[in-house]
Amino acid sequence: MGRFTFRLPDIGEGIAEAEIVAWHVKVGDTVEEDGRLADMMTDKATVEMESPVSGTVIEVAGEAGDVIAIGSPLVVIEVEGAGNEVDRAPAPKAAVVEQRIAAETPDADDVARVEQAAAPAREPKREPAPAPAPEPAPAAAGAKAPQPRPAAHSKVMASPAVRKRAADLGIDLGEVRPAEDGRLRHADLDAFLSYNAAGGFQPAGRKGQDEQVRVIGLRRRIAENMAASKRQIPHFAYVEEFDVTALEETRAQLNAGRGANVDGRPKLTMLPFLIAAICKLLPKYPMLNAHYDDEAGVVTRYGSVHLGMAAQTPAGLMVPVIRDAQDRNLWQLATEIGRLANAARDGSAKSSELSGSTITVTSLGPMGGVATTPVINRPEVAIIGPNRIVERPMFVKGADGAERIEKRKIMNISMSCDHRVVDGWDAASFAQDLKKLIEAPALILAG
């Protein structure tokens, strides 16, 4: 029998380490060739490690949440034959202990020097132990002893109305101090409720259990990235109100008579229109489609729009990337949005599909609030967040110049920008130009 050491391979350019997200084997398990060993996370992609040999697992490196360097041993497998590791007979534990004891044992001269240095020192004076506290004296004759609270399961005297009220409130009558005659009344329930209100009263039997959840994998990566973004980037937010009534009408016309997917074209949502409008404007505002390397002091402005699309998944927030979004029409954008969102949710997204974005759009859809202040996806310098669409009465000027009140669909769009690169004037100008496109959707489709 031999030992085969499986070392963590190079799983991405520039990757120096990876985090263990989940083990699929443990010590003592038999693994087949190409069998699953562990899931490793690098950057924002999870990579599945497979065994190159068959055998029995005899060692694993760490547990979920530990970070392993590229080239370090991940799993040791006992195999038929020589394996890839030369047998090394480790020194017996006893010999190791003896060597350490010998190394730590001082010689006679050392002992003499220590004793000589310690000779003038005297043992500190010890204080006498305090006398035991006297036992409390018995209560004076005739004095009333404090009335004990009845046990939770002892018989409690109370009227049916009091019992029903206590049951409705979830109060255990055994926890309530009765009046002097031992009978519980409504006033005693009121006193119990008043006393426990300040302490956050919870009905008996409904207390939840504390739970500690280890932050590992994608959740830890998100936490680290968000903390670094807020720590290093001076954010500023800009929110503008958009009238999307005409855009929603245009969208409904384009979707009319279509199923979920006709001729390979999915139904259109708001997002493809917004992305198309953003792509149309970014050549005019190149400082928004950029990365900032603060260590080198260099801003890289991109000619193509690789648009990050923040997507919620069971594992946490992921940002798949629509490559060259500026070259896609509305239906192509809608198709790619759906494909990438599904890949992120089921874990099939590739590492190349989860990196390299130049600007990000984040949307909570119908769950969106009135306004948001999204966190920038470093090293980008801007992020755009559409919010919930609401219907409101608005003053609208007609062709005759007269104003009238109409029901309109209104949506706020939020932006967060890196103030080291983007000035407030630039963000406001971009938002106003975006407003013109969104409120006149024919301009998005033109050209």
Q: Is the peptide bond before 379 cis (omega within 30 degrees of 0)?
A: yes
284, amino acid identity: K
Q: Which residues contact 70 (CB under 8 A, 6 or more apart)?
A: 8, 9, 10, 11, 15, 16, 17, 18
Catalytic residue chosen out of the listed positions 243, 419, 426, 433: 419
Q: What is 16-35 written as a DSSP string?
A: -EEEEEEES--TT-EE-TT-
- Rounded Cα distance between 175 and 188, Å, is 11
Q: What is 212-254 written as a DSSP string?
A: -----HHHHHHHHHHHHHHHH--EEEEEEEEE-HHHHHHHHHH
Burial class (CB in 10 A: 0-12, 13-18, 19+), 207: exposed
Can 423 be counted among the known catalytic residues?
yes
- Assign residue 428 a region: left if phi > 0, alpha if psi is -120 to 50, beta otherwise? alpha
Pairing of strands 382-397, 403-418: antiparallel
Max distance between CA atoms of the chain, in angstroms, equals 110
Instruction: Supply φ then ψ for residue 138, to 5 degrees.
Output: -65, 155
- Rounded Cα distance between 46 and 40, Å, is 6
Residue with the two structure tokens 């409008």: 277
- Rounded Cα distance between 350 and 352, Å, is 5
Q: Annotated catalytic sites, by residue?
A: 419, 423
